[in-house]
Chain A
Amino acid sequence: DQQVKQNSPSLSVQEGRISILNCDYTNSMFDYFLWYKKYPAEGPTFLISISSIKDKNEDGRFTVFLNKSAKHLSLHIVPSQPGDSAVYFCAASARVNSGYSTLTFGKGTMLLVSP
């Protein structure tokens, strides 16, 4: 049962344009969401996160939007750069007695930004 879904395996965007990566989740207990970026043969690198008490969080070129009613979040990258080409993972955790549960990841979306 895939609780975090990234339905687009890949996305191609031209340099300078906006990249929009989508993520859906099914577990209504999830209330903290993160995006990670991964280059081949390296570990995931934390990009940006959002708590369920917010609907938007921005950090430079990266903005994450959260729509709790739709159980949907998206990562916007503006403007996209060739160095952004990587696999992007959406992850979620739920509040439990000991704090937060461990992260549940989606399968990732490969972003290719062409010059």
Chain B
Amino acid sequence: DTGVSQNPRHKITKRGQNVTFRCDPISEHNRLYWYRQTLGQGPEFLTYFQNEAQLEKSRLLSDRFSAERPKGSFSTLEIQRTEQGDSAMYLCASSLSPTRGGNTIYFGEGSWLTVV
């Protein structure tokens, strides 16, 4: 399977704990995105990387959230001191950069977070 891979697929954690999600993009894609989706909403942009550089962050990304893509390949999204409002599906996606013809982003299957 050469699609976007995310793990873990499901995570239940207690409020106040830290969680980390990993994303492996499609191998030739140099852009990687994180989105969040809650019930009844469409995916909401959090942040994206081009190679290892984090180029944009949404104001949804509070200081408890941090994303990294250290070698320009896989990425991690860490949420510190989780709150119940963090419960959502966290979606990773990847694409080629527009200069390489990438206008379409491809999503992984998502990581469900439940904070209890």
- The chain A residues found within 8 Å of chain B, CB to CB, are 4, 32, 34, 36, 41-46, 49, 51, 89, 91, 93, 98-100, 102-108
Which residues of chain A come closer than 8 Å to B40, judged between CB atoms? 107
Q: Which residue of chain B lies nearest to A101 when distances are taken between CB atoms in the complex? A: B56
Spot the interface stretch: B11-19, B61-69, B73-81, B99-107: B99-107
**What is the interface residue range for chain B against chain A?**
20 to 34
With most chain B CB atoms within 10 A of its CB, the pick from A32, A36, A98, A102 is A102
- Give the most central of B48, B103, B108: most A CB within 10 Å: B103
Write the chain B residue with the least CB distance to A107: B42
Interface residues of A: mostly helix, strand, loop or mixed? strand
Interface centre among B56, B98, B99 (most CB of A within 10 A): B98
Taking A99-B99, A105-B42, A107-B42 as contacts, is the C-beta distance between A46 and B48 under 8 angstroms? no
Q: Cβ of B91 < 8 Å from any Cβ of A?
A: yes
Contact at A32–B108, with CB atoms within 8 Å? no
Residues of B near any A CB (own CB < 8 A): 4, 6, 33, 40-45, 48, 55-56, 91, 93, 97-99, 103-110, 112
- Is the pair B107, A44 in contact by a Cβ cutoff of 8 Å? yes
Alpha-carbon gap, A91 to B105, bound state (A): 11
Among A43, A93, A104, the residue within 8 A (CB) of B91 is A43
| B23 shortest CB reach to chain A, Å | 11
* A residues near B97, Cβ cutoff 8 Å: 99
CB of A41 within 8 A of CB of B112, answer yes
Say which residue of A36, A43, A91, A98 sits within 8 Å of B108 (CB atoms).
A43
